[in-house]
Amino acid sequence: MQLPIIDINNEAQVVEYFARLEKDYPQLIEAMRVMNISYQQYLEALSGISRRISLTTSSARLTL
- Amino acid 62 reads L
What is the secondary structure of 5-63 as a DSSP string?
P--TT-HHHHHHHHHHHHHH-HHHHHHHHHTT--HHHHHHHHHHHHHHHHHHHHHHHHH
Annotated domain spans of the chain:
27-64
Q: In order along the chain (64 residues), what is the average pLDDT of each group of 10 residues?
A: 69 88 91 91 76 50 42
Is the full-model pTM beyond 0.85? no
Residues 8 and 14 sit within 8 Å (Cβ to Cβ): yes
